Structure 1
Amino acid sequence: MAVVQFMVSLDLSVVNLGLPQIAAGLGFSATGLTWVIHAYALTFGGLLLLGGKAADRYGNKRVLLLGLGLFGLASLAGGFAQEPGQLVAARAAQGIGAAALAPAALSLLTSTFPAGRARVRAFGVWSAMNAAGAALGVLIGGLLTEYADWRWVMFVNVPMAAGALAVAWRGVAAGEPAARGGRPDVLGGVLVTAGMTLLVFGVVRTDRYAWTSSVTLTTLAAAAALLAAFLHVERTTTREPLVRLGLFANRSVAGANACTLLIGATMASSFYFLSLYVQQVLGKGPATTGVMFLPLALGVIAGSVLAVKLGYRLAPRTLLVGGGLLTASGLAWFGLISPDGAFLTDVLGPSIVSGVGFGLCLGPAVSLATAGVAPHEAGTASGLLNSSRQIGASLGLAALGAAAHDRTGSTITPETLNDGYALGLTLGAALLAGAVLVALAVLPRTVAPAPARVAETDDRLTKTGGR
């Protein structure tokens, strides 16, 4: 499950440093190139709820294997793409595969480790790999782009998907689907997917159409109408709802998803701004930029390990608040970057601080989002959490990117670019401060285990050899 999450997280950032070479190799326009990123994020974030429900209904292992197969094949196809449309379609297919496998993997962790020290450790490992994939994606993408070819930022997923597929085939117990009976709420699935996709699409295009333009306002209004219709259908449907709205009455679920939305927005945008600052303001190449991300990546891993150690003694909410404050401090420090800066003075220190803070946040957020959730809704809760992260990443990058672009203005110089990136990083610190306030106001002080009998769980683990 850790390899699966590393691969999914890696793919959100590994292509960033290869975008100029991708544009030159396939003939992307400046506007069309953004869809290499957004095609993945849109399908991933928009279909996660359906993926979670599929995991509940048809079994975690079955959906996990299907998602891994699709993800690997789409990565292979993307590496062989010969024109822009082929690569964008491959990236969208990757997102569909990730939307199937991510909630299934997280649901397997939740059901295998329902409570206690084992759960703390399992989610610590999971969150470390999740964070490492996002942070190391920039390093791996830079090295592959400079010393191999941009196509390898797609091919790199193929051996990981194949290895995870082989291990999951043999090492994951099939089990019985947690959810049985009832016809699926297809209409609700269509409405929520279309609504979230339109919401991200509208914000993404604010680089071309102003927030007050008729195009943006119409798109966002349509997204709001679709999401409102989804809520109405979920309350009134005679079929099995896609997500039981009463799930949000669980303070852990509601608070953790709100925090994860803000953390995802901040994490994606900060990686984006930092990579552009190092390349376009400090003038470093892709490989050097990737190496400069190592302190951030190692900091995230160290923070995740520290969260495991402290998780035996401190409540998840306490760790989330502490990590959020530390990350906000690091991003505020990043907001002081200067056009004539250097790695040692402007990048190294805040990278370590914000990296450790991110690591402290991720594991507790996952644990909180699935705490007290019944086994038959574990996949749905997992899908909600991953959806919050991906939608947050897309919305945050679009919104903070628009603010940075506005601050930069029409005159592009290292100084104006620096001002825009500094503003984006400072706004990221404000979002993390907001996540801390949400955690303090909404999240419970202690976490209840999932409503399943420990004896039955122990018996199941014994019968499956601990799998």
Structure 2
Amino acid sequence: MNDSRSRWLALAVLALAQFMVVLDVTIVNVALPAIQTDLGFSAEGLQWVVNSYTLTFGGLLLLGGRMSDILGRRRLFLIGLGLFAAASLAGGFATSEGSLIAIRAIQGIGGALLSPAALALLTVIFPAGRDRNIALGVWGALAGIGGTLGVVAGGVLVDGLGWEWIFFVNVPFAVVAILAAPAFITESRRVQGEHSNFDVAGAILGTAGLFALVGAVIRTEAAGWGSTQVLALFGSAVVLIGAFLFVEARAKDPLVPLRLFRVRGLSVSAIALALNGGAFLGMFFLTALYLQQVHGDSALEAGTHFLPMGGAAILSAVIGAQLVTRFGTRAAYLGGSAVGAVGLLLLSQAGADATFAGGLLPGLIVFGLGLPLVGVANQIAAVAEVPHEDAGAASGVITTAFQVGGALGLALISTTATTRTGDLLAAGAVQTDALAGGFERGMLIAAGLAVANLVIGAVRAPRIRPDAAMVAEASAA
């Protein structure tokens, strides 16, 4: 891989695969109403279309990175890519709620194997310096571009071909990457003797505990907070997460070195990104439903209506990198949290009769401006104060925190909204008014998460002034 042309072709292959994973996050949300109608999903079950993917992806991400280091990064990249493609193909043929949820979980496992392997390959292929910074910039830009294109692509596919094609579309991307990877990417692995243990027990216990915790929150709407089922799920979550911490504290080579949480920057950033992920995923889920079920959008119209938020987020990410370099991470974190809270409060004012331009557009743009500021600032703060040998683990922890926080936030926000909708329907409200009332309540809860982020940042966030290289690496994490 010394040839310059081959390096950039390798980046194209890796970027194609990562683009597919990023695209999958937003493309599915636009299709949720169609999936709900076709497969008979309950409001409770619909959350699992998103959360089963998010939890397996986030929960197994660190294990995937460790396995790629030991077994070979290209090998795990190809295995994860093949698993993701196979699950995508199966997803398009799903005929029931349970089968689609299970397939989405398998997709998450594939993503957890391929994504860390791809980023590790990128850092091996490009030596430190200008070329690596460019490659990392391309990698980081995929999040904004893929997420923005996903909502439009999802709308086009759902309206033109059916929701099944949001899964089928992944297959050609994956096939191209699988065929091209051996030609442009050579195998690499960590030096023998380093990180030789997988810590499978830690990964399984942690992921199972998170599933139980999210399941408990989701079941509260149907069964009630004090029900035996909900209490049993919460109890299981406590036991499983406690066992995870016990294993990690005693493992010779843990997936999550608990000592890292003594570093203030990392511990604060993990909480900040979890709250940011929760507010984002909950907002995106409810807004996609609101646009189609209350506002009357088609899937394509709903996807198009998300574009201004995506554009604002891309602009904010570019400007935010400069702001973080100039003013430091704490200022960007506080500013992003405040802006995000304002955007969510604006969205909460949209009623059943709101126009897009007057009722939704301002909130979407403002929220889009705030989201990347919190992300970039905390990705930098998380790794700035940890030892160099722990930087990879720290990056994995905060990526996991964002995914897990997203799942928990979605469960909390969506369950609260569904409960409010049910109460309004029981009181005699028409369906559109009841759904709008649920949307309002959900946006208020999401705004509460953003306000909590603001408070935590004001009290605990460290002041860090990163250089340009640190910003580039953090943006790609």
TM over 0.5: yes
SS in 1 for 2:25: coil
Give the whole-Å Cα distance in 1 for the aligned partners of 2:130 and 2:337.
Answer: 23
Choose the corresponding residue for 1:404, options 412, 417, 424.
417
Q: CA deviation at 1:314?
A: 3.6
What's the counterpart of residue 435 of structure 2?
417
Q: CA deviation at 1:353?
A: 1.4
Give the whole-Å Cα distance in 2 for the aligned partners of 1:446 and 1:301.
Answer: 23
Q: Does 1:368 align with 2:381?
A: yes
Judging by fraction of residues, say which structure has more helix: 2
What's the counterpart of residue 460 of structure 2?
442
Q: Does 1:433 align with 2:451?
A: yes
Q: CA deviation at 1:395?
A: 0.9
Give the whole-Å Cα distance in 2 for the aligned partners of 1:285 and 1:120.
Answer: 40
Q: 1:18 to 1:113 in 2, by over 3 A?
A: same
What's the counterpart of residue 312 of structure 2?
299
1:151-180 deviations in whole A, cap 9, x for unaligned?
Answer: 110012223333444565455564331662
Q: TM-score, normalised by structure 1?
A: 0.85
Q: 1:337 to 1:19 in 2, by over 3 A?
A: closer
Aligned residue runs from structure 1 range 246-265, under 5 A: 246-265=259-278
Q: CA deviation at 1:374?
A: 5.1
Contact 1:67 1:99 in 2 (8 A): yes
Choose the corresponding residue for 1:325, options 313, 330, 338.
338
Amino acid of the structure 2 residue aligned with 1:277: Y
Choose the corresponding residue for 1:52, options 65, 73, 84.
65
- Structure 1 window deviating more from structure 2 (244-253 vs 57-66): it is 57-66
Contact 1:331 1:354 in 2 (8 A): yes
1:190-220 deviations in whole A, cap 9, x for unaligned?
Answer: 3222212211222232332222222111111
Contact 1:372 1:447 in 2 (8 A): no
What's the counterpart of residue 6 of structure 2?
none
Contact 1:39 1:88 in 2 (8 A): yes
1:277-331 deviations in whole A, cap 9, x for unaligned?
Answer: 2222222222211111111111111111222343443423332322222222111
Q: CA deviation at 1:422?
A: 1.5
1:72-118 deviations in whole A, cap 9, x for unaligned?
Answer: 22212222335554433321210101112233344556778898888
- Structure 1 window deviating more from structure 2 (239-248 vs 439-448): it is 439-448
Give the whole-Å Cα distance in 2 for the aligned partners of 1:79 and 1:97.
Answer: 16
Contact 2:272 2:374 in 1 (8 A): no
Q: Does 1:227 align with 2:241?
A: yes
Give the whole-Å Cα distance in 2 for the aligned partners of 1:159 and 1:279.
Answer: 29
What's the counterpart of residue 360 of structure 2?
347
Structure 2, gaps ≥5 residues long: 1-13, 471-477
Amino acid of the structure 2 residue aligned with 1:197: F
Give the whole-Å Cα distance in 2 for the aligned partners of 1:45 and 1:253.
Answer: 17
Q: 1:34 to 1:25 in 2, by over 3 A?
A: same
SS in 2 for 1:241: coil
Aligned residue runs from structure 1 range 16-415, under 5 A: 16-26=29-39, 32-107=45-120, 125-165=138-178, 169-172=182-185, 174-177=187-190, 180=194, 182-237=196-251, 239-373=252-386, 377-408=390-421, 409-411=423-425, 412-415=430-433
Contact 1:253 1:381 in 2 (8 A): yes
Give the whole-Å Cα distance in 2 for the aligned partners of 1:39 and 1:14.
Answer: 15
Structure 1, gaps ≥5 residues long: 453-467
Contact 1:256 1:439 in 2 (8 A): no
- Structure 1 window deviating more from structure 2 (49-58 vs 117-126): it is 117-126
Contact 2:152 2:303 in 1 (8 A): yes
Amino acid of the structure 1 residue aligned with 2:243: A
Contact 1:127 1:359 in 2 (8 A): no
Amino acid of the structure 2 residue aligned with 1:191: L
Contact 2:69 2:189 in 1 (8 A): no
Q: CA deviation at 1:389?
A: 1.5
Amino acid of the structure 1 residue aligned with 2:455: L
Q: CA deviation at 1:265?
A: 0.3
- Structure 1 window deviating more from structure 2 (206-215 vs 17-26): it is 17-26
Contact 1:127 1:363 in 2 (8 A): no
Contact 1:127 1:362 in 2 (8 A): no
Q: CA deviation at 1:272?
A: 1.6
Give the whole-Å Cα distance in 1 for the aligned partners of 2:431 and 2:402.
Answer: 33
Q: 1:172 to 1:442 in 2, by over 3 A?
A: farther
Contact 1:337 1:418 in 2 (8 A): yes
SS in 2 for 1:208: helix
Give the whole-Å Cα distance in 2 for the aligned partners of 1:225 and 1:81.
Answer: 33
Amino acid of the structure 1 residue aligned with 2:432: P
1:348-392 deviations in whole A, cap 9, x for unaligned?
Answer: 222211112213333333333343555654443333222212211
SS in 1 for 2:384: coil
Amino acid of the structure 2 residue aligned with 1:421: F
* Count of aligned pairs: 449
1:258-280 deviations in whole A, cap 9, x for unaligned?
Answer: 11100110101111222222222
Contact 2:121 2:188 in 1 (8 A): no
Amino acid of the structure 2 residue aligned with 1:276: L
Q: TM-score, normalised by structure 2?
A: 0.83
Q: 1:279 to 1:186 in 2, by over 3 A?
A: closer
Contact 1:128 1:300 in 2 (8 A): no
SS in 1 for 2:188: coil
Q: 1:283 to 1:23 in 2, by over 3 A?
A: closer
SS in 2 for 1:359: helix
SS in 2 for 1:18: helix
What's the counterpart of residue 463 of structure 1?
none
Give the whole-Å Cα distance in 2 for the aligned partners of 1:190 and 1:79.
Answer: 28
Amino acid of the structure 2 residue aligned with 1:52: G
1:109-167 deviations in whole A, cap 9, x for unaligned?
Answer: 67788988888766654444224434443332222111112111001222333344456
Q: 1:116 to 1:267 in 2, by over 3 A?
A: farther
Give the whole-Å Cα distance in 2 for the aligned partners of 1:203 and 1:405.
Answer: 12
What's the counterpart of residue 459 of structure 1?
none
Q: 1:304 to 1:122 in 2, by over 3 A?
A: farther
Q: 1:435 to 1:153 in 2, by over 3 A?
A: same
